[in-house]
Amino acid sequence: MNIVVFNGSPKGDLSVTITYIKYVFEVLEGHDVIYFPISERIHKYEREIDSFQEIMDAVGKADGIIIATPVYHVMVPSQLKRFIELIYERKAEDIFRQKYVCSITTSVHYFDNVANNYLQGICNDLDMHFTGYYCAGMKDLGKERERQRLTQFCQSFFFAIQNKIVFPTRYPRIPENHFTYCPSLPEKHYAIKGKKIAIVVDCETKDCNAYRMAQQIASLLDCSENIVNLRDVNIKGGCTGCLQCALDNDCMYQNADDFIEFYNKNIVAADIVIMAGTMKDRYLSSLWKMFFDRSFFKTHIPVFRDKQVAFLLSGNLSYNEGLRDMLSSYPDVEQGNLVDIVSDECSDSQKLDRLLESLAMRISHCTQAGYIAPSTFAGVGGRKILRDEIWVELSYIFQKDHSYYKKQGLKNGFIDFPKNSIVSKIYTKFIMLLTLFPPIRRMLRKEIKSRMLESYTKILEKAKQKRL
Instruction: Quote the Cα angle for 368-344-272, to 5°.
Output: 25
**What's the pLDDT score for residue 194?**
95
* Mean pLDDT value across the chain: 94
* pLDDT at residue 191 is higher than 70: yes
Residue range 44-50: mean pLDDT, rounded:
98
CA dist list (Å): 418 to 87, 343, 384, 410, 421: 48, 40, 11, 11, 9
Q: Which residues contact 324 (CB under 8 A, 6 or more apart)?
A: 317, 341
* pLDDT at residue 71 is higher than 60: yes
Are 282 and 88 in contact by the 8 Å Cβ rule? The answer is no
* pLDDT at residue 410 is higher than 60: no
Instruction: In whole angstroms, give the CA distance from residue 130 to residue 261.
Output: 41
Residue range 339-358: mean pLDDT, rounded:
98
Confidence of residue 452 (pLDDT cuts 50, 70, 90): confident
Measure the N-to-C terminal CA separation of the chain; round to a whole number of Å. 79
Instruction: In whole angstroms, give the CA distance from residue 358 to residue 313.
Output: 16
Share of the chain above pLDDT 70, in %: 98
Are 262 and 252 in contact by the 8 Å Cβ rule? The answer is no
CA dist list (Å): 368 to 260, 267, 271, 364: 29, 19, 11, 6
**What's the pLDDT score for residue 247?**
86
Q: Which pTM does this prediction carry?
A: 0.92
**What's the pLDDT score for residue 413?**
61
Give the pLDDT confidence of 82-118 residue by residue, as tens digits.
999 999 999 999 999 999 999 999 999 999 999 999 9
* CATH T-level assignment (fold) for domain 2-162: Rossmann fold (3.40.50)
Extended strands (E) in 16-174: 32-36, 64-70, 100-107, 129-137
Instruction: In whole angstroms, give the CA distance from residue 304 to residue 334.
Output: 6
In CATH terms, 197-373 corresponds, of 1.10.10.60, 3.40.50.360, 3.40.50.2020, 3.30.70.920, to 3.40.50.360
Amino acid, res. 290: M
Instruction: In whole angstroms, give the CA distance from residue 443 to residue 244.
Output: 60
